[in-house]
């Protein structure tokens, strides 16, 4: 079976306080965007001429963007092993991941892959897991993973796992996503902000007309990132200069997105190594 994990953007991101477990309480709105990877799961093919997988194992192959690190650390593989502990009859599988979403970019691509792997394994092998149970498994993979089980606009609190589906429809707009290939470590990002309670909750701000968001909808990670990496600020300025209604960094960066009216055709010129994606022109 084949599925297509999509990315997300954060519409506002407030870091409220540090928790005793070392994580942070936050509030944000997760919004799905149709920039997608491809993920396929195949039951082990046992033929006389084929190489058989080890018992109870998963073999991961990849294409597209290069994925660094050991395959055992990939969230798709971890998703398989997580389910295997509770479902010992889960067979050995082959899994292929075609990577399109930039990694370490604040787009949640790895989290999406892990969450979609859980859903795909559930459907392929008829595990009959409820949505809530899939969310519980996803949280064990990472804080952003539960969102991708629902994959609908959500107001999120806690570590990001406490979600409320909201009626937010931005389909009348186009999204432009720019990733300058700057790596911002999560530890560095959290170390450069001071948690605080905002004057107004994102949940309230997001109900206001989109043209008001520019002055009120803030990502706490953005200003420290721009101070250290001015390039991020230049991208945001360029998107506003081309007519964006709203622009912001997503997650802990370094990706910046702009929301435009569909009638606008932004003239974007960025260095060749940048990743640029426009929902209105993507195939």
Q: Supply the residues annotated as catalytic.
A: 8, 144
**Beta-strand runs (E) in the chain:** 2-3, 6-18, 24-36, 38-43, 58-64, 93-99, 154-157, 162-165, 173-179, 246-249, 256-261, 275-278
Tokens representing 15?
């870091």
Is the peptide bond prior to 254 cis by the omega test (within 30 degrees of 0)? yes
Q: How far is CA 231 from CA 76, 146, 235, 250, in A?
A: 32, 31, 6, 15
């Amino acid at each position: 079976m084949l599925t297509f994990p999509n990315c997300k953007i954060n519409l506002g991101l407030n870091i409220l306080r540090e928790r005793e477990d070392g994580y942070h309480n936050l509030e944000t709105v997760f919004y799905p965007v149709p920039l997608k990877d491809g993920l396929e799961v195949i039951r082990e093919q046992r033929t006389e001429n084929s190489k058989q997988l080890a018992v109870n194992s998963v073999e991961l192959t990849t294409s597209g963007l290069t994925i660094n690190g050991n395959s055992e650390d990939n969230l798709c593989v971890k998703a398989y092993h997580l389910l295997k502990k509770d479902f010992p009859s889960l067979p050995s599988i082959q899994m292929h991941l075609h990577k399109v979403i930039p990694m370490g970019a604040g787009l949640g691509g790895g989290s999406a892959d892990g969450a979609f792997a859980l859903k795909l394994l559930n459907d392929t092998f008829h595990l009959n897991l409820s949505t809530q149970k899939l969310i519980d498994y996803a949280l064990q993979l990472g804080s952003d993973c539960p969102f991708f089980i629902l994959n609908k606009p959500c107001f999120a609190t806690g570590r990001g796992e406490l979600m409320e589906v909201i009626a937010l429809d931005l389909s009348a707009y186009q999204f432009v996503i720019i990733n300058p290939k700057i790596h911002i470590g999560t530890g560095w990002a959290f170390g450069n902000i001071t948690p605080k309670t905002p004057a107004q909750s994102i949940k309230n701000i997001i109900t206001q007309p989109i043209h008001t968001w520019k002055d009120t909808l803030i990502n706490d990670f953005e200003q420290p990132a721009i101070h250290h990496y001015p390039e991020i600020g230049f991208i945001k300025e360029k998107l506003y200069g081309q007519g964006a209604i709203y622009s912001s960094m997503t997650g802990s960066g370094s990706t910046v997105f702009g929301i435009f009216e569909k009638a606008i055709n932004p003239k974007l010129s960025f260095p060749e190594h940048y990743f640029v994606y426009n929902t209105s022109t993507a195939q």
